[in-house]
Amino acid sequence: MLTDQDKKTAWDDARAFWHYPKLPDPIYNSMDGIAAMNMQSKQICVNGKNLEEKVGGDLLSTIHNHEIGHYMLCPFSMSAFLVLIGKANGVVGNMQHAKLIQNLFSDLLVNYHLFVNGDPGIRTVYERIPNSGESWWNMYMSVWGEMISHGYGSLQKTKEVTGMANTLRNCVHRSKQWPDKIVEFAKLMSGTMSGHNIHEEQDGLIDSMDIDQFGPVSESELNKVRKQLRFGEYRGLLGGIGIGTESNVSADYYNMLAKRYQIFIPENVGWSGNVVLESPIHCEPEKALDADFEYSLSRFGVLNPNALSKWKFGEAHGPTESQEKKDLLIVLDSSASMPDGNEDISIPVLSSFIAKQSALSAGQKVAVMNFSSANYSVEFTRNNTAIDTILTLYQKGGTEIPGSEIHDLLNGNSWGTYVLVITDAYIANVTDQQANLEKISRSAGGNCVYLNSDAGETFENMGYNVVPMQTFDDLPNLVTGKMRDIYG
């Protein structure tokens, strides 16, 4: 039975080993497993009964060292934890297995740090801890034994085990290498887990980690994760841990990628229905007296003295702007001939996000028409979520453009609108929709059709500016250039 003095001595020794980190005293309860570190409260929990039964109370200080190691070394942060799981899941395609692989990987790095820095108790822990008898455990112990040159019975010593031990020894304090190294580790472990039902409680582990130990998932942490995972890895991760739907997970990733193409927007820009200044000037009192405040408030929502001073007034026409920025209508083909933006990165979808971000950054509104055999749309808005939902929708049907509905969207907006069309195949009903498509080209305040096919002449004859392509590869740069012309 652990005494209060035993607990104090073990905790003092562990704090000294890690150079006195500012952590609260451990708590003792009936939690599952032996111990765990709550990464949010920074407090260690210990099940004294399990500790004494499985490894012995004399190793309490080592168990503390192990838990502090998760906080101080690996995984250290929520984003690192999620990246490691995402990378592992990308290999094994099983979230339960991926979480275990992350746990084993982190344990090996932490345990090796303890061993080489003077805590021999970690070697003893694995001599005493119960053997689960499963093949993944034998592989794990083989790697661990090779890392510290210690034999744990009849374990494997193969070329793969030796190579992995060397790899892990060399990356303990090189966190930038961890995402690549856990991929190698997951490949080694995957064959030992195939067909196994990994239980939530692994007798052979000191602890197990999950997302709830880190607290609420913040946007800043997710942003770090997005930058280190491929699209499929990111989607698999968030779906596996129950964060977000397929649509908003995809949208998160596309928004992150689109920011790389961000264009420069002049500082003095107006919202839809307001003005973009030619140069910043101060409002003169006599000009303000003549300004149409009712018109300004209806358009802008708040008064803008600088903008008021630039308006010109014409008889019976009210104010006119010296320079107008246009709203944006994105017409996106999501038929079966287009790539599925929820399975892999779709360049057309990414390009649509680039266009959307450019318009919104300039203070303008965006509408979307997503078409295939059916069509889905969102009216002109600055609501990112509403726009993203339609942009990430993949219908996988035929290619039938809803000319009448697009025209209705366009006419429903009182502000000048630029129409951007992205499609890649022959549109089945283009002849039937010719009259509507011609009306759209006449009504729009500019247009561009990015077409990955040989049907460009049809659109040109209806008054569209067509950019034909053999491949969509350069579409993000082309769209960025067009947005710079419109909003830059």
pLDDT at 291: 56
Asked whether the predicted pLDDT for residue 339 surpasses 60, the reply is: yes
Q: Is residue 278 part of a domain?
A: no
CA distance 199 to 213: 19
Residue 74 burial by Cβ neighbours in a 10 Å radius (0-12, 13-18, 19+): buried
| 194-203, 419-428, 444-453: least confident range | 194-203
DSSP three-state, residue 99: helix
Report the predicted TM-score, pTM, of the whole model to 2 decimal places. 0.75
pLDDT at 403: 95
Same domain, 27 and 140: no
Q: Is residue 279 part of a domain?
A: no
Same domain, 441 and 413: yes
Asked whether the predicted pLDDT for residue 180 surpasses 70, the reply is: yes
Q: Is residue 317 part of a domain?
A: no
Instruction: Write out the residue range of the structural domain in which residue 136 sits.
Output: 78-194+218-244
- Which CATH number is 459's domain given? 3.40.50.410
What are the Cα distances from residue 375, in Å, to 87, 245, 330, 383, 394?
Answer: 36, 21, 13, 20, 11
Q: Is residue 199 part of a domain?
A: no
Same domain, 140 and 45: no
5 bridge partner residues: none
Mean pLDDT confidence for 186-195:
88
Q: Is residue 316 part of a domain?
A: no
Same domain, 237 and 99: yes
Domain end marker among 244, 262, 280: 244
Asked whether the predicted pLDDT for residue 121 surpasses 70, the reply is: yes
- Mean pLDDT value across the chain: 86
Mean pLDDT confidence for 442-451:
90
pLDDT at 70: 96
* Residue 485 pLDDT level (bands cut at 50, 70, 90): very high
Mean pLDDT confidence for 150-177:
89
- Show the CA angle centred on residue 383, arms to residues 250 and 361, nearest 5°: 90
SS3 of 324-364: the string is: CCCEEEEEEECCCCCCCCCCCCCHHHHHHHHHHHHHHHCCC
| pLDDT per position as a tens digit, 10-30 | 999 999 999 999 999 999 998
Same domain, 130 and 66: no
pLDDT at 145: 94
- Which CATH number is 67's domain given? 3.30.2010.10
Mean pLDDT confidence for 72-90:
96
Higher pLDDT, 323 or 327: 327
pLDDT at 297: 52
| pLDDT per position as a tens digit, 268-303 | 444 444 443 333 334 445 544 555 555 445 544 555
Q: Is residue 202 part of a domain?
A: no
Same domain, 31 and 85: no
Asked whether the predicted pLDDT for residue 138 surpasses 50, the reply is: yes
| pLDDT per position as a tens digit, 225-262 | 999 999 999 989 988 888 766 668 899 999 999 998 88
Same domain, 369 and 463: yes
Asked whether the predicted pLDDT for residue 222 surpasses 60, the reply is: yes
Same domain, 33 and 117: no
The number of distinct structural domains making up the chain is 3
Same domain, 15 and 132: no
| 65-79, 158-172, 191-205, 354-368: least confident range | 191-205
Share above pLDDT 90 across residues of the chain, in percent, rounded to a whole number: 65
Q: Is residue 320 part of a domain?
A: no
Asked whether the predicted pLDDT for residue 320 surpasses 50, the reply is: no
* Residue 151 pLDDT level (bands cut at 50, 70, 90): confident
pLDDT at 197: 58
pLDDT at 204: 59
Closest among 161, 128, 170, 130 to 143, alpha carbons compared:
161
Structure-block tokens of residue 28? 């003792």
Asked whether the predicted pLDDT for residue 319 surpasses 50, the reply is: no
Same domain, 85 and 63: no
CA distance 401 to 395: 13
Q: Is residue 301 part of a domain?
A: no
Structure-block tokens of residue 307? 């903008």
Same domain, 344 and 467: yes
Structure-block tokens of residue 433? 């929709």
Range picked from 103-117, 216-230, 247-261, 464-478 for highest mean pLDDT: 103-117
Same domain, 439 and 350: yes
Domain end marker among 227, 244, 261: 244
| pLDDT per position as a tens digit, 383-439 | 999 999 999 999 999 999 999 999 999 999 989 999 999 998 678 898 899 999 999
Asked whether the predicted pLDDT for residue 321 surpasses 90, the reply is: no
